[in-house]
Amino acid sequence: MAQLDRAFSDQIPNVRFQRPIAEGNNLLRPFSLPRAYTSPKDVFCLRERRMVNAYRRISLFGHEIQVPNVPLREEVDIHMVPDPDKNIMEIRIWWDDRLAHSVTLPLQGFRVHF
């Protein structure tokens, strides 16, 4: 442990990260989106799952959302992206590894605290 303290305590953090990059021993990788996703919003979001009802709708925190192009009784993944500056919540609905629908709703109807 003392050897590690001596090895890292005298280095500036930026230099400590830049040296492995220059030497090719870097474990840090550039950010890339997972295969099906189209935006970083789909990675850094709040997630829920809902089942599409017989009217092709889902209920989310008291909001009824129409979900076209999804078969009845199928589960969909819901990605919620809050924007407190604009006071909106972007709802991105995914089914079968594709974006099925996207809608923007007012933020005050959701029970999520920021």
Are 100 and 70 spatial neighbours (Cβ–Cβ below 8 Å)?
Answer: yes
Among 105, 97, 39, smallest CA distance to 66 is for: 105
The answer, yes or no, to whether residue 5 has pLDDT greater than 80, is no
Segment (H or E) for 104: strand 98-106
pLDDT digits (tens, 9 = 90+) for 40-99: 999 999 999 999 999 999 999 899 999 999 999 999 999 999 998 999 999 999 999 999
Q: How many CA atoms lie within 13 A of 19 on its CB side?
A: 7
Strands (DSSP E) found in 8-87: 46-51, 57-60, 63-66, 75-83
Q: Where are the domains of the chain?
A: 40-109
pTM: 0.74
Q: Pick the residue with more confidence: 11 or 108?
A: 108
Q: How far is Cα 92 from Cα 81, in angstroms, rounded to an integer? A: 8
